[in-house]
Chain A
């Protein structure tokens, strides 16, 4: 983050001023009361570019308190520049404890993934959302998409997915795969892989979504129905991987491709780095992994 020290010298707790926090907090409460509905809010400038997840950062700033432990992930990893910067930001402006362990965190801010470890009651998952409106690519006008949500006119969305099937033989959408929340609002789950969609359904954690540029906050309360849109003859399916994680041997997790050399060598490893590390520490070894000496002893 390029923020000069002086800009942060006079910050309020968690950076945002109290009036902004109140406005965001009111939006969060209404968002929880109307699951999947996008509540407009007056997004503030944050000391980072929009692409860095300012919506998520503002939600986290309005929620977080001195007793919280924060985890920040980007593409499943805690150590990318984006994740490290946001974590450092909250350490500085809110003096909160931070962790990379999913189960130790009370607030998890995320871009692109839901942790593999099942989230629990008392945890809040905050998503950074670039484009909150699932109907935007079908209808550019906000007044029209509002109306479509109000009238539950989601036929166009199904047409789009069905065109996918006609063209490719299957639904080609693999990220930001639209869901219907509690049988009412169609919602963009942010650019997580559709692999993660089932984790949103009946989660024990509260899920909050913040879009900074488009100024929207939405939510999925715990124990709420979240169904990925599909068709009877083409039911929703998550990505499957041919092999387990090359480092820790985990099955049934989301894997990233890693290029090993310029001769086409590659491997597939857990995208959730905390999950992978913990498995390796526990002695699990994949086909390209190195046995953990301590665990092996």
Chain B
């Protein structure tokens, strides 16, 4: 497949219903942190963008939302695909992005490089969409906060060793801060800024 045709293909088979289903998965995931949803089963974004990750882009990004791509994603194919299907501008400055997409295995840049919103408008913050090898099988974190009855355990695989410390710093900034959607293939899990994460037994 040529670079050009790859960028034109792989959108939702039905854009309207595909976006609705993906949004609903995202909304439920954001409302219930720690739960896993399936999204984008009929989207086929170009590798290494994940299926759910690509579906999130198709569902939420457009010309009002600058998009930042991690080094592994900042290639002509991915840029072309997101540009063609969403109309979003790809920006090189992470601070200007409303959405940031990161490939599996890449280092997660300093959160401070992304918009955290302002005191008056904490909603004007970036959402990071981070592909992981899997949403389970990693170290156990205990999650508490809105959307979680008592507490729940999550075992994201492939988060950096200092993730808990960095997430605590993001949460200390609340109500400002980043929100994260973790994806792995066709699955996604959301981590809104309101979620408190602790090491198991910590």
A and B co-occur in one complex:
yes
Most chain A beta-carbon contacts within 10 A, residue among B60, B65, B147: B147
Out of A25, A31, A222, which one reaches B123, CB within 8 Å?
A31
For A, the interface residue count at a CB cutoff of 8 angstroms equals 42
Q: A13-B16, A18-B19, A206-B27 are in contact. Are A35 and B59 (CB under 8 A)?
A: no
Name the B residues within 8 Å of A31 (CB-CB): 123
Q: Are B192 and A33 in contact, CB atoms less than 8 angstroms apart?
A: yes
A165 within 8 A of B: no
B162 within 8 A of A: no
B2 within 8 A of A: no
Q: Are A182 and B24 in contact, CB atoms less than 8 angstroms apart?
A: no
Q: Are B122 and A65 in contact, CB atoms less than 8 angstroms apart?
A: no
Out of A19, A35, A222, which one reaches B32, CB within 8 Å?
A222
Contacts of A116-167 to chain B: CB distance below 8 A: 146-147, 149-151
Name the B residues within 8 Å of A221 (CB-CB): 30-32, 146-147, 194
Out of A29, A149, A222, which one reaches B26, CB within 8 Å?
A29
* B56-94 vs A, Cβ < 8 Å mask (1 yes, 0 no): 000111101100000000000000000000000000000
The docked-state distance in angstroms from the alpha carbon of A13 to that of B12 is 15
Name the B residues within 8 Å of A222 (CB-CB): 31-32, 146-147, 149
Contacts of A30-49 to chain B: CB distance below 8 A: 30-35, 37, 39-40
The docked-state distance in angstroms from the alpha carbon of A65 to that of B22 is 11
Contacts of A224-277 to chain B: CB distance below 8 A: 224
Q: Are A147 and B30 in contact, CB atoms less than 8 angstroms apart?
A: no
Name the A residues within 8 Å of B27 (CB-CB): 25, 28-29, 32, 63, 206
Q: What 8 A-B pairs have minimum CB-CB distances, sorted nearest first?
A: A33-B192, A30-B123, A221-B147, A150-B119, A224-B146, A221-B146, A146-B120, A65-B20
Q: Which residues of B are interface residues toward A (Cβ below 8 A)?
A: 15-17, 19-21, 23-24, 26-28, 30-32, 59-62, 64-65, 98, 119-123, 125, 127, 146-149, 174-175, 179, 192-194
What are 13 A-B interface contacts by the 8 Å CB criterion?
A13-B20, A18-B16, A22-B60, A29-B127, A32-B30, A32-B147, A34-B175, A37-B175, A146-B121, A149-B120, A221-B30, A221-B31, A221-B146
